[in-house]
Amino acid sequence: MDRRFVYILVALAVIIPMLFRVNLPVSVSEPTQKLYDYIEALPSDSTIILAFDYGPSSLAELNPMAKSLLRQCFDNDVRVIALTLYPDGTTLASTLIQEIAEEKGAVDGEDYVFLGFRPGATQVILGMGSDISSVFETDYSGKATTEIPMMKDITNYAQISLLIDLASGSSTEVWITYANVQYNLQIAAGVTGVIISQMYPYLQTGQLVGLISGILGAAEYERLIDVPAKGMLWINIESFVHLLIVGLVVAGNIIFFNQRRREE
Amino acid sequence: MRRQVPLILCFVFGIVMIFTQFSPHSVSQTLYQEVISWALIISPFALVLATTTLIQTHVTRIRRRTEHWQYSFLVFVGIITMVVIGVPFGPQNQVFEWFYTHVQVPMDATMFSLLAFFIASAAYRAFRARTFEASLLLITALIVMMGNVPVGDLIWNTVLSWLPLEDGASGARQWILNNPNLSARRGIILGVSLGVISQSIRIILGIERTYLGGGD
């Protein structure tokens, strides 16, 4: 089969379900449920850190997670400190937080703060363990961190209930190595599909309190907070693409075995 | 002398930083915090170094007229445009944000989206059950793929409901991730960690010197 024909099939498998909305039932996996329950159990006025460690190439998978997490936090009066270890993540994170804050009526500096980006991932993580304001002297808009109302009682990880790393690379492992092991900070992650398998050893040891896995995890989380959005839409579309790929692999193997039998 | 000073610094700081991890004494912890803040100052230099290397690479490409050298001009157009807007006006400037949202985001997303087409084509052409190991990989991949989408459970519960597995394709995927995957990953992590420890000891003791570069 010509590869261009395969490309057309993939395009159709994406476009057709998008035109005719399909709603398949999504069951919630244990790691996603654990993270949801952990945030639900946090007392109001707790503070979490949400790290946007990804760039535009991964926003399709990770933005729906970020939106669901922010919705849940703002609904439960959990305050959010957002930051990024990726220079590409600043504008993306800032826009997304503002969108959800407006939707939920959250106030900048009281319910959330976006600290922006600082270079040197390991040094930033270790530095925040001593004093967050020494690493992020100002927030993204240039306000002094020490003068931001919600940061007044926060010095370091000791006042943080949970860190959620939304990652498209190896940043979660860096957070675990330096923030969890060194400072005992509780960590959860939302990761792209390609790195899910790397996270399971940390789930088993309890170094990750929960995990949102790819676009399926995003859809599961949307189901948990009862706000179906792009995660739900995209996982249904992805269902058809996966079916197509499985069909192609099976077809390819049938052709392969037929050819081998003829040669023998 | 050019090689001895970095070797001595590396040895002293390596040993001292290891000891700070085992001593809760205030002097040790103050020293640790101090060195962390030094490291924070040093890390932005990596960005400067990366930018300089990028510029040097593309200047060389243009000078030598290597294949597709014309595209190197686009790199400079991108860098200069974003620096001219970003440095004086900041990343919250409307024009800077417009370039990010309407140029960088679609380009990055497009590059990543192309993978879906390549994966589908590669899976069709190359994913063959030639050997026992390849067959095992193929079956595992198919189960994980189907477990990753809701339609997998639907098909499993309809066609494979006779199998003694309660949670369908998603349950089978979870089992694969929790057992064979986790075991293999743990082995890899342990191996890599031991490698990192031995390499760090070699660097601290000055046995491994490639980070110093060539020459005397």
Q: Tell me chain A's radius of gyration from C-alpha atoms.
A: 21
| Per-run averaged pLDDT (10 residues), chain A, 264 residues | 89 91 88 97 96 93 96 97 93 95 96 93 91 93 94 95 95 95 95 93 95 95 94 92 93 91 86
The alpha carbon of B156 is separated from its chain's Cα centroid by a whole number of angstroms, namely 35
B109 interaction partners in chain A (CB closer than 8 Å): 56-57, 59-60
| Most confident by average pLDDT, A51-60, B86-95, B166-175 | A51-60
- Describe the strand order of the beta sheet including A187-191 as a list of residue ranges: A112-117, A79-84, A47-53, A162-167, A187-191, A211-213
Buried b / exposed e along B90-109 (16+ C-beta atoms within 10 A) = ebeeeebbebbeeebbeebb
> What share of chain B in percent tops pLDDT 70?
99
pLDDT (0 to 100) of residue B23: 87
The chain A residue lying nearest B30, using CA atoms, is: A130
User: How near does any CA of chain B get to the CA of A37, in Å?
Assistant: 19
- For the residues B51-70, what does the mean pLDDT come to? 93
Can you give the pLDDT at residue B160?
Answer: 79
Is pLDDT of B216 > 50? no
List chain A domain ranges: 26-235
Name the average pLDDT for chain B.
Answer: 89
Min Cα distance B203 → chain A (Å) is: 19
Using one digit for the tens of pLDDT, what is the confidence trace for A7-36?
999 999 999 998 988 888 898 999 999 999
Q: How far apart are CA A150 and CA A112, in angstroms?
A: 8
How far is CA B194 from each of CA A178, B187, B188, B190, rounded to the nearest angstrom?
Answer: 17, 11, 10, 6
Q: pLDDT digit string (tens) for B112-135?
A: 889 889 989 998 888 888 899 999
ipTM > 0.90? Answer: no
Average pLDDT over residues B39-51: 85
Q: Hey, are the CB atoms on B145 and A242 less than 8 Å from each other?
A: yes
Q: Residue A10 in contact with residue B117, Cβ under 8 Å? A: yes
The answer to whether the CB atoms of A245 and B182 lie below 8 A apart is no
* Fold observed for domain A26-235: Rossmann fold (3.40.50)
Q: How far is B97 from chain A (nearest CA, A)?
A: 7
- The answer to whether the Cβ–Cβ distance between B154 and A30 falls below 8 Å is no
CB A125 within 8 A of CB A179: yes
pLDDT value of position A64: 96
Q: Which pLDDT band holds residue B161 (cuts at 50, 70, 90)? A: confident
Q: Residue A98: which of A108, A89, A90 has the closest Cα?
A: A108
What is the model's pLDDT at position B215? 53
